[in-house]
Structure 1
Amino acid sequence: MKNFLTHLVPITILAFLFITFLQSALDKVFDFKGNTVWLKQHFENTILAKQVPILLGIVLVLEFIAALGCILGVTFLIYSGETYVATFAMFISCITLLALLFGQRVAKDYPGALTITCYFLVAIFGLYVVNA
């Protein structure tokens, strides 16, 4: 219980990121074709247009790694107080969100980029808190 209370803020942020990335990854797995069709339209006038399927696969892998890292980070924080896994999870979450932000900026989807920025602020704050 002591580790849980000591690491309450990063645990909560990791739980938030876990839910975010797991849901997003599962959506891609169960509707890869639908996501590909939508993203091809989203990126049709950009340099990323022909790479949508491979980029979607890369984002899917990053999201699964981030989700797995988040749940493992929570586990390590609670049971041992160890922060290395949580740090990795926060960092890979930031990298994943930066990749998504890049795509939104290339597509000139500024409202979408703003939404990702909100998630990024949570992740970067978590990275800061877990290493403070």
Structure 2
Amino acid sequence: MHIFDHTLLKVIQVLISLFAGVLFLQSGFDKVFDFKGNKGYIQSVFAKTFFNSFSGILFVIITILEVLAGLASFFGAIFYFIEGQKDFAILGLELSLLSILCLFTGQRIAKDYAGAASLVGYFLLIAFGLFTFALVG
């Protein structure tokens, strides 16, 4: 099935990449624009864990990772849709999965099991999106 000369698989890949882009651009930019508030929250979450002494640097790392994942996913989706070049879309999905894995790990360590569980759906959708790129050469 073709939609505007694109296969349905390509449309699904683009939509999942755009989803990851929106998800991580919003999350990453929220951390950037309210850096102090978000950093304080993260430090309070990890106050009673072994991450306490370096939660600030971990916050900076996850912020950078989320912004990069969002940018690569969002612009990768657009570039893939227009030009057919899929490298940035794939990179964006890989960075998105890495971001979710980092967030999941942090929430498990902080014993926020409900928060960690809420990430599973995102992980599965984005992993499926990455998998679809393996379906075609």
TM normalised by structure 1 equals 0.92
Residues 1:17 and 2:25 aligned together: no
Alignment of 1:55-74 (within 5 A): 55-74=58-77
Correspondence 1:103-122 to 2 at 5 A: 103-122=106-125
Using the TM superposition, name which of 106-115 and 77-86 deviates more: 77-86
Residue 75 of structure 1 deviates from its aligned partner by 2.2
Distance in 1, Cα, partners of 2:105 & 2:129: 21
Q: Which moved more, 1:68-77 or 1:92-101?
A: 68-77
Counterpart of 1:95 in 2: which secondary structure?
Answer: helix
Per-residue deviation, 1:70: 0.8
What amino acid maps onto 1:29 in structure 2? V
CA displacement at 1:30 relative to structure 2? 1.1
Query: Residue 13 of structure 2 contacts residue 133 of structure 2 at CA under 8 Å; is this kept in 1?
Result: yes
Shift of 1:6: 5.0
Note the C-alpha offset of 1:86: 1.4
The amino acid of 1:21's aligned partner reads F
Structure-1 separation of matches of 2:19 and 2:78 = 14
Instruction: Give runs of ≥4 in structure 1 deviating > 3 Å.
Output: 3-6
Aligned to 1:127: 130
Overall identity of the aligned pairs, in %: 36
- Would you say 1:95 and 2:98 are equivalent positions? yes
Q: Deviations along 1:37-74, whole A, 9 cap, x unmatched?
A: 11111111111111121111100110111011112211
In structure 1, how many angstroms separate the alpha carbons of the residues matched to 2:6 and 2:79? Answer: 9
Indicate the residue corresponding to 1:80 in structure 2: 83
The offset of 1:80, in angstroms, is 2.1
Q: How many residues align?
A: 132
Amino acid at match of 1:40: Q
Distance in 1 (CA, whole Å) between partners of 2:98 and 2:32 is 20
Deviation, structure 1 residue 5: 4.9
Structure 2 contact 73–90 (Cα < 8 Å) conserved: no
